[in-house]
Amino acid sequence: MTDITQRRVPVAQAAPASDRREDHQPVLVIGREGRPGQPAGQALPGARPPRHLADLDPGERRAAAERLGQRSFRGDQLSRHYFARLTDDPVEMTDVPAEARVPLAEALLPRLLTAEREFTCDQGQTRKTLWRAFDGAYVESVLMRYPGRVTMCVSSQAGCGMACPFCATGQAGLTRNLSAAEIVTQVVAGARALARGEVPGGPGRISNVVFMGMGEPLANYSRVLAAVRRITDRVPDGLGISRRAVTVSTVGLVPAIARLAGERLPVRLAVSLHAPDDGLRDELVPVNRRWKVAEVLDAAWSYAAATGRRVSIEYALIRDINDQAWRAEALADLLSGHLAHVNLIPLNPTPGSRWTASDPGVMREFEERLARRGIPVTVRDTRGTEIDGACGQLAAAGRAEPR
Ligand code: SAH
């Protein structure tokens, strides 16, 4: 068996969920290279993305219009342009007086993300975009079109502080939290490309949004929550995507899961478990040293009880690391009788990693063992592997390549 203990990451430092510090720094930072508590990457202290309409709720938008010396309903008009017509171009805002368009758009619709590169595969039905933010931070989003549904996978942070050793984003450390509008912009860009018929398959709409791109969404709680509201609020206040079609995926930040359960927002929760035992999970998902498997699952079951929604348990199958028959049985023991569904993900090996995906036969056996125990289980499709757009591969590698 491969020795996974060689690659040690420093122990997590945790702050209580009641501590609102996530507006300035994540709830939890796992330092890398022996600097626990220090955000890694090129963090720019104090750098804040420009304010945008999508950071504000409808009342705040009206107030913002008034502060600009405009009538308050201009805030609603701008919302309609952005969320319903998917435009932020003042030229198209013909219902707004010409002299008001530019100041309103400049103040409330600044460009937040610039598409640096676009990668496609699956005959154009999988599209990954590498975005550059105002401060040079890079993030990625992936659009995946399937028959009857389009899923947008978005980033919630530039980089990630959770340091899971099998994840490409985890290797680079955290740069910073994204603003709500920076998250929403990724969805709007996908919606726009679909509406304009730029994605093969004809004009369409986004049906699902998953927070499974870069970052730990629950470490950027307030902004992710604001983004979820913009994504799910009715048109034209928001994008009008069903709340049940939004998935927030987490390493298992227990206080934040409890807080989310109290929001009365029936989004789906996905928990990245990856191991049924603390010994292995401490290594694969280092935050487990702070919140153990039992605590994470307790929080998940409370979430399921509060929302009535089945929790998705993510499990990346890593050859000879977490794919043994006894671990399948141990996982079934943990989940049996609970409102859960297991998503098995063949590991996408990250560059330089000595880990790889389990053999197909082993994967099948793992799946069958869970199914035999009555646990709903599916094997995740690994769309986008060839464009590094598959789970855990979002490392913004493209930025280093010549344009
Ligand atoms: N931080 C969040 C969301 C981002 S990752 C979380 O951890 O849930 C989305 C999913 O992809 C997580 O389940 C994550 O563990 C998984 N993942 C990361 N790297 C992977 C890889 N190399 N192969 C397969 N799945 C991976």
Residues designated catalytic: 140, 391
CB count within 10 Å of CB 124 equals: 13
Ligand 1: centre distance to CA 332 (Å) = 21
Q: Which two tokens stand for residue 10?
A: 């420093």
Tell me which of 144, 212, 319 to substitute to probe ligand 1's pocket, judged by most ligand atoms within 8 Å of the beta carbon.
212
CA nearest neighbour of 164 among 348, 368, 358? 348
Ligand 1: centre distance to CA 168 (Å) = 9
pLDDT number for residue 5 = 32
Tally of residues, the chain: 403
Q: In whole angstroms, what is the distance from residue 399 CA to residue 138 CA?
A: 8
Tell me which of 144, 167, 253 to substitute to probe ligand 1's pocket, judged by most ligand atoms within 8 Å of the beta carbon.
167
Residue 363 has pLDDT above 90, yes or no: yes
Average pLDDT of the residues of the chain:
87
For residue 162, give the ligand 1 atom closest to its CA: 1
pLDDT number for residue 43 = 47
CB count within 10 Å of CB 196 equals: 10
pLDDT number for residue 264 = 85
Range of weakest confidence among 44-58, 86-100, 185-199, 334-348: 44-58
Q: In whole angstroms, what is the distance from residue 308 CA to residue 310 CA?
A: 7
Residue-wise pLDDT tens digits, 207-237: 999 999 999 999 999 999 999 999 999 999 9
pLDDT number for residue 283 = 97
Pocket of ligand 1 (CB under 6 A): 162, 164, 166-167, 212, 216, 249-251, 272, 314, 316, 345, 347-348, 350, 391-392
The arithmetic mean of pLDDT across residues 160-168, rounded, is: 94
Of the two residues 4 and 301, the one the predictor is more confident about is 301
Strand partners, 28: 14
Residue-wise pLDDT tens digits, 103-133: 999 999 999 999 999 999 988 899 999 999 9
For residue 353, give the ligand 1 atom closest to its CA: 22
For residue 272, give the ligand 1 atom closest to its CA: 13
CB count within 10 Å of CB 271 equals: 24
Q: Tell whether omega for the bond before 236 is within 30 degrees of 0, i.e. cis.
A: yes
Ligand 1: centre distance to CA 272 (Å) = 7
Residue 387 has pLDDT above 80, yes or no: no
Residue-wise pLDDT tens digits, 270-310: 999 999 999 999 999 999 999 999 999 999 999 999 999 99
Ligand 1: centre distance to CA 210 (Å) = 12
Residue type, 305: A
For residue 166, give the ligand 1 atom closest to its CA: 22
Q: In whole angstroms, what is the distance from residue 177 CA to residue 156 CA?
A: 7
